[in-house]
Amino acid sequence: MYETKMNKGHLACAGCGATIAMGLASGKFPEKSVVVIPASCWSVIGGPLPYRTLNIPSVHTAFACAPAVATGIYYALAKKYKDHRVIVWAGDGSSFDIGLQSLSGALERGIPFTYICYDNEAYMNTGIQRSSATPLYTITTTTPENAFKKENKKNFLEIAIAHNIEYAATATIAFPDDLKKKVEKAVSTKGPSVIHIFSPCPTGQGFKEMESVKISRLAGISGFFPIYEYENEKYKINIEPDFSRLKEYITMQKRFASIDDESLKKIEKIVIQNFNRLKKKSLLSLNN
Amino acid sequence: MKKEVLKGNYVVAYAVKQSDIDFIPVYPITPQTSIIEKLADFKAKNEIKADYVPMESEHSVMAACIGASLANARVFTATSGQGLLYMHELLHWASGSRLPIVMSVVNRAVAPGWNIWMDQSDTISQRDTGWIQIYTSNHQEVYDHIIMAYKLAEKINLPVMVILDAFFLSHTISDLIIEDDEKIKKFLPPKKDLPFGIDFNNPRSIGSLSDPSNYMEFRKKIADAFIEAESEIEKIYDEFNIIFNRKYEVYEKYMDHDADYIIVTTGTLFENSMLAADSLRKSGIKTGVLKVRFLRPFIKNNLRNFLKGKKVIVIDRNYSFGKGGVFAEELRSIINEDVYSVIAGLGGRDVPPKTIEQIVIKVIKEKKDFWETNIYV
């Protein structure tokens, strides 16, 4: 049976990765969970009044402060319950840009909560504006010079891990068992935990609605979005990438329309470089 | 009941200690900091049960207040100046969510240039955020109004700011009565759960998308709550008087009955204005004083009758650029009498009784609005 805490019906676009991600992840949320949602696609997907998509208490917040709201909820509920979990469900704009300070504060405090970033690599809810999660060479509506982004994607999960948290992981909707297992671990971590889910957006990234899972799978197996976890100071790579699939991944998406052979090579170089860095960390973990 | 001698900021902390608070998120800013330091001291000595949580910004402080309040905690925090401005977005969020959050604000000038001294620009800028604003003038009033603020906030589900003058009140020392815990418990019973908060048995989607078909109705409910606040304040003052034997009025008045001139002001300028009125009367100028305690709601009460036939001089420690002194403009919207607006004491410039006397004499002579910039040494 499909285990989820979503009700039937929602306001997402067809093929929305963020909705599939919530469908999968929420099945592993504990019974006494509160979901905190900053401004994002999920502010809409969650349902307009009087409807609600989630069958657990959810709190919508301003853009920059979901982990701080979660902090308040955690302390208030801790006076009454021992088995509750506060889960922040935030997009990449909130996680990588405007809410990063608030996330850093909450991770440093070490309170038990789980932060899940569903990443569609731009401000998709407002119509495809670049965020610091947007990859190099992506076309967005706010990258006027040459029409694509000239900067690399920020390494969000490594920033989170730098706060000495116990558990952090990446996942995509194409590997549901892996995703669910990671959410299960994250919500039972004693302190804070962070999950970074690649959840593609057909509208903003420019692919067919039916291809969301395929895109997610290619993102994972090509190494473009490495699938790994960090547990008790050890890195573990969950999917060994095949870099030869990068071209297929890139060419399937209209957002990369300006990429030529030269820029593709540059992307490959960056992806391999990032992966090698991860690989070193995972090998070090094995040796310890 | 006992007498204590405390500085203004400590008075806030003492009132908070006795108000059965669950959660105190904090962030330091001068001149508010000694409030949260005193609370840390109470926490260290186990004299408060509240969770005391240092946050990463004032924005996060108010966010944490909102989260905890939605989960039915009684919360407190304090800020000042730039910190209050940084909170602005979430002040709207707190009132829009109808949360009974109480915050003390130590008025501080807004930069640039850097100025930590008394000026109401910070709180005036939050006038339309849907918070009750209470401007206090002395230590006892601060103590009493923190306790009453919770009663009011929880009755009408609106957040309340209790505001102190930087340094003139926050850092000056005075005696006051500290009431017994038992009496305060009687006046302020434990907080009840919100009927619209976080509830595992009744999962709600809180603060979700509200389209043009229903957004306006929520705003109207907030507007109605502000009207309800006017009568609730009177009731709370009566109840407070019965238990503690101190009677507050919405507007404090001094020597007003036969006065030709009424100085209208707020905060510690009220105390100085009373001294000025005494002195002016010695030279034959019949002067009275009116203190405005609430900027929101701006309570009409019988203000129109009270000020009938008087010459009204409003001294504002704030300025709305392109318009004027905010309290003067509020009054002008209610009464038909001549209102003279005087701006004084911005950025902590002292406005001693002598300056207030000069202001009144100048208004009588020149009959116009002006900025009083003299520095009296």
Assign domain B251-372 to its CATH architecture. 3-Layer(aba) Sandwich (3.40)
Residue B116, token pair as written in the block: 């930590």
Q: Give the CATH number for residue A175.
A: 3.40.50.970
In the block, which residue shows the tokens 């969000």?
A156
User: Among partner residues B63, B204, B210, which is closest to A69 by beta-carbon distance?
Assistant: B63
User: Among partner residues B56, B68, B93, which is closest to A72 by beta-carbon distance?
Assistant: B68
Angle in degrees, CA B182, B10, B275, rounded to 5: 105
End-to-end CA distance of chain B: 40
For A240, the domain range is 17-287
Cβ-based contacts of B63 with chain A (< 8 Å): 61-62, 65-66, 68-69, 71-72, 102
Q: At residue A145, does pLDDT exceed 80?
A: no
* Residue numbers of chain B with a pLDDT score lower than 50: none
User: Residue A10: inside a domain, yes or no?
Assistant: no
A102 touches chain B (CB under 8 A): yes
Backbone torsions φ then ψ of A151, nearest 5 degrees: -110, 155
User: Among partner residues B22, B60, B203, which is closest to A76 by beta-carbon distance?
Assistant: B22
Angle in degrees, CA B45, B46, B47, rounded to 5: 90
pLDDT of residue B377: 60
User: Residue A7: inside a domain, yes or no?
Assistant: no
User: Among partner residues B55, B90, B199, which is closest to A62 by beta-carbon distance?
Assistant: B90
The answer to whether residues A275 and A235 touch, using CB atoms and an 8 Å cutoff, is: no
CA distance B160 to chain A (A): 18
Cis omega (within 30 of 0) for bond into B348? no
* Residue range A262-274, pLDDT digits in tens: 999 999 999 999 9
The answer to whether residues B159 and B102 touch, using CB atoms and an 8 Å cutoff, is: yes
Question: Which one of A79, A82, A88, A108 makes the best mutation probe of the B interface by having the most chain B beta carbons within 10 Å?
Answer: A79
Question: Which one of B56, B72, B90, B92 makes the best mutation probe of the A interface by having the most chain A beta carbons within 10 Å?
Answer: B56
Task: Tell me how long chain B is.
Answer: 377
Mean per-residue pLDDT for A161-189? 98
* Residue range A59-105, pLDDT digits in tens: 999 999 999 999 999 999 999 999 999 999 999 999 999 999 999 99
Alpha carbon separation from B124 to A177, A216, B135, B241, B377 (Å, rounded): 54, 51, 11, 30, 28
pLDDT of residue A288: 61
B207 and A72 within 8 Å at the Cβ level: the answer is no
pLDDT of residue A1: 63
pLDDT of residue B375: 82
Q: Which amino acid would we find at residue B69?
A: S
Cβ-based contacts of B210 with chain A (< 8 Å): 48-49
A110 touches chain B (CB under 8 A): no
Backbone torsions φ then ψ of A134, nearest 5 degrees: -75, 130
This complex has an ipTM of 0.96
pLDDT of residue A146: 73
pLDDT of residue A106: 98
* Residue range B52-99, pLDDT digits in tens: 999 999 999 999 999 999 999 999 999 999 999 999 999 999 999 999
Mean per-residue pLDDT for A190-214? 97
Quote the DSSP letter at residue B39: H
Residue B363, token pair as written in the block: 């208004």
* Residue range A103-114, pLDDT digits in tens: 999 999 999 999
Instruction: Compare A47 and B82 and report the one with higher pLDDT.
Output: B82
Break chain B into its structural domains and give their ranges. Answer: 2-244, 251-372
Rounded to the nearest integer, the mean pLDDT of chain A is 96
**How would you write B206-271 as a 3-class SS string?**
ECCCCCCCCHHHHHHHHHHHHHHHHHHHHHHHHHHHHHHCCCCCCEEEECCCCCCEEEEECCCHHH
pLDDT of residue B62: 98
Assign domain B2-244 to its CATH architecture. 3-Layer(aba) Sandwich (3.40)
pLDDT of residue A286: 81
Domain tally for chain A? 1
Percent of chain A with pLDDT over 70: 99
Beta strands B311-316 and B294-296 are unpaired
Give me the DSSP letters along B92-127: HHHHHTT---EEEEEE-PPSSSP--S--THHHHTTT
Helix A100-109 to helix A66-78 angle, to the nearest 10 degrees?
A: 30
B67 and A59 within 8 Å at the Cβ level: the answer is yes
